[in-house]
A and B are shown apart, each in its own frame.
Chain A
Amino acid sequence: MGALLVFLGCGASPGGPDGSFRVALVTPGSIADASWNAGAYQGLLLIRDSLRAQVSQVEARTPSDQEEALRTYAAQGYALVFAHGFEFQDAAERVAADYPETIIVITSGQRVTGNVVPLIFRLSEATYLAGIVAGSLTKTNKIGYVGGIELPPVRMAYEAWSQGAKSVNPQVESRGTYLNNFDDAVAGREAALAMIRLGVDMLHHNADAAGLGVFQAAKEHRGVYVFGSNADQSDVAPEQVLGSAVIDLPGAFLAVSQEVLEGRFIPRVESFGLESGVIKYVANPALASRVPADVMALVQEAETAIISGALQVADRETGRVIPGKR
């Protein structure tokens, strides 16, 4: 079923100063998820508008489709292809071996191999801050997390969320559910409802489109709050979202594209954390009154400590969350 590739946005814009800069994006899920994939697509549009690049995007869910999609773009001579997720690593390395002219950027990738380069997002640093808010405000001392497929970034979000909450409230019990899926919003809702039934009053997700169900479950229960992921998700449920752990994907994508366009790109591990401004915790202004000043002070204190290196949530080289004794 996943053999269906929907090519979108193959706009015939003029393209680059010399009319030939072409950038592609392969997403592992729908760009209408208001989260991980939506941010990447916005990044692609920003590249199109800022660099006058010719852009194209395709959705590929299975490993074979993902490799095929990367190969198709590389074969067409795209200068830069964003493979949007940890799961693209192996496919990208196989394709890159045949097409050394194309730079493949793997968001949340692991290592540099030739022209395959990772963008490491230490989103866990922002997730840790969300955990601090949740741990401070929970009335039941129970917090819950709904993950899509248990990929390393998804698991790390769970770890950082739990660590952040426990750092301010050792009483906190942290529960997690994996859906094994990033699309089934109904399952996301059921997972959240089961937790709410068990007394959980603070929820976080990293499940892309399936995460919408978590917000819906919170909307149905007074006193239950949610923290968004990847994008600022305050708009999804303005009365329930206290804040979001955000990756400024457009900003990061544009920076890399600029270097490639100007021919000064050097393959390297690029790691973004709170210090870069690409990763940030964004509070929902509509619910600012629900978060007391002393809690925000805790968040700021932790943020300063993470930026200075006094507090290490994630390894800067690998992006991995450091197992907490915190």
Chain B
Amino acid sequence: MDPILAQGFLEASVRVATPLLLAALGEMLAERGGIINLGIEGAMLAGALGAALGASSAGVWGGVGVALLAGVLLTLVFVIVSVRFQADQIITGTAITMAAVGLTGVVYRHAFGVGGAGLTLPTFKPLVVPVLNRIPVVGPALFGQSVLVYLSWAAVPLCWLLLFKTRWGLALRAAGEDPEAAAASGVRVIGIRAAAVLLGGALAGLAGGTLVLAQVGTFAEEMTAGRGFIAIAIVVLGRWHPVGVLGAALLFGAATALQFLFQAMGLGVPYQLFLVLPYLLALVALSGGMGQARIPTALGRPLVGGQS
């Protein structure tokens, strides 16, 4: 591949991977604590709308703030229903995502009118890291992106530290493996799960925000287009580990970037083949890697007996 194309492909891969990485890291935290949250697709959508609302009145950082808040608020509903009152997580998460689709549409039209926001919203300009961005081919992809991309990378070691190097992380993982035993040894299972899921909601909101603030500069109803669900697959593919999640998100980003490049090159192959490429790759990777994957033992299972 010629260097110009390769550079464009890598830039696109990182761009596409960023919202997936943020959302998947958040979902990973929740799942490590034993909670599977299908509401993150909705939280992303809420975050995207929040970003549009915030950015239209308070600039790009205002957009980031409202995106985080929107993700947390929507996820709070999930936490109350499914973590506090332990209702079925799959059904609650699905319902929240569906509600978010309708709700964001109504709020969007109320705020921006039926004409929509157009392309009037401010976006983050690329923050070029001097010198490093001159590295051939990979430089611009890694060091010529928006600040939200760098933030998503910083979230990887932070999540790792949180999970594996703090007491809180240990307690969270205990809640995800054996909540009853954790509760017996003094872990406040429900409280710690709620915190992890809300943190995940914030990250999902930010993930939705990047779509608006670092990419397209507008909101469109249902614009997340299933990215939240893909993030859930990425958590599995990345084996519930921050580094694995980073790798899986980049893999998915690369496959998506490749399909756009292939279609644009006009190779004379049916485009449907390219469209399924990212999903095909995820399936192959999943079937190849599942053998050693360790699912949090209590994933999706409420705490039995006693509030804690």
Chain B interface residue count, Cβ-Cβ cutoff 8 angstroms: 41
Which residues on A sit within 8 Å (CB–CB) of B305? none
Query: Is B164 located at the chain interface by the 8 A CB criterion?
Result: no
- Give the number of A-B contacts (CB < 8 Å): 132
Q: How far is the CA of A1 from the CA of B221 in the complex (A)?
A: 13
A contact patch SS: mixed
Query: Is B119 located at the chain interface by the 8 A CB criterion?
Result: yes
Chain A interface residue count, Cβ-Cβ cutoff 8 angstroms: 49
Nearest-Cβ distance from residue B13 to partner chain A, whole angstroms? 10
A178 touches B271 (CB 8 A): yes
What are the interface flags for A213-248 relative to B under an 8 Å C-beta threshold, 1 for contact and 0 otherwise? 101100100000000000000011100000000000
Which residues on B sit within 8 Å (CB–CB) of A65? none
Q: How far is the CA of A200 from the CA of B215 in the complex (A)?
A: 20
Closest B residue to A189 using CB positions: B216
A31 and B256 contact, Cβ closer than 8 Å, known pairs A183-B221, A197-B8, A212-B220? no
B260 touches A183 (CB 8 A): no
A31 and B114 contact, Cβ closer than 8 Å, known pairs A193-B12, A198-B5? yes
Q: How far is the CA of A144 from the CA of B108 in the complex (A)?
A: 31
Nearest-Cβ distance from residue A143 to partner chain B, whole angstroms? 11
B contact patch SS: helix
A177 and B116 contact, Cβ closer than 8 Å, known pairs A197-B5, A209-B220, A209-B221? no
Point out the residue from A61, A190, A212, A235 that lies within 8 Å of B218, measured CB to CB: A212
A181 and B216 contact, Cβ closer than 8 Å, known pairs A34-B116, A38-B115, A194-B260? no
Can you name 11 A-B residue pairings with CB atoms under 8 Å?
A: A4-B102, A32-B115, A177-B263, A190-B256, A191-B260, A194-B261, A194-B263, A212-B216, A212-B218, A215-B119, A219-B217
Query: Using a CB–CB distance below 8 Å, which chain B residues touch chain A?
Result: 4-5, 8, 12, 15-16, 97-98, 101-102, 105-106, 108-109, 112-116, 118-119, 211, 215-218, 220-223, 225, 256-257, 260-261, 263-266, 271, 275
Q: A30-B220, A177-B260, A212-B119 known; 7 other A-B pairs, CB under 8 Å?
A: A32-B108, A34-B116, A178-B263, A186-B216, A193-B12, A194-B260, A209-B223
